[in-house]
Amino acid sequence: MTSIFDRIGGAGPVAAVVEEFYTRVTADPDLREYFAGADMAKLKAHQRSFVAAALGGPQEYRGRSMAEAHAGLGVTAEHFDAVVAHLTGTMEDLGVPADTIATVAAALAPLKEQIVQARLPV
């Protein structure tokens, strides 16, 4: 059985999705604060590795867990959903098949509880 990574064309398309995805999230006024001061080259490299591994590519993701990587950022459920919408929109615009997008979105859903953090009372 061919992996999603192979079906979409491998590392090149994954890199294109990651580039466009970060263009979108860093331009979104509700999300850009999460990326202020971030080492974008490093972040994109981690994201390419994560996405490739999640799609069944030969890369092994060696980054921090989702909970560790997002600890202290105060990511809300709404912001998580907006990020997923930017990712799926990016894939749609780049011609990724709808069934592949649905598979990716389904794979992201369980990460929500690891990434979203409860807001502390003021």
Segment 6-58, tens digit of pLDDT: 888 899 999 999 999 999 999 999 999 999 889 999 999 988 988 888 888 88
Is domain 4-115 classified as CATH 1.10.490.10?
Answer: yes
User: Phi and psi (nearest 5°) for 76?
Assistant: -90, 165
Q: What pTM did the predictor assign?
A: 0.85
Between the alpha carbon of residue 72 and those of residues 13, 42, 62, the distances in Å are 31, 19, 21
Q: What percent of the chain has pLDDT over 90?
A: 39
End-to-end CA gap in the chain: 51
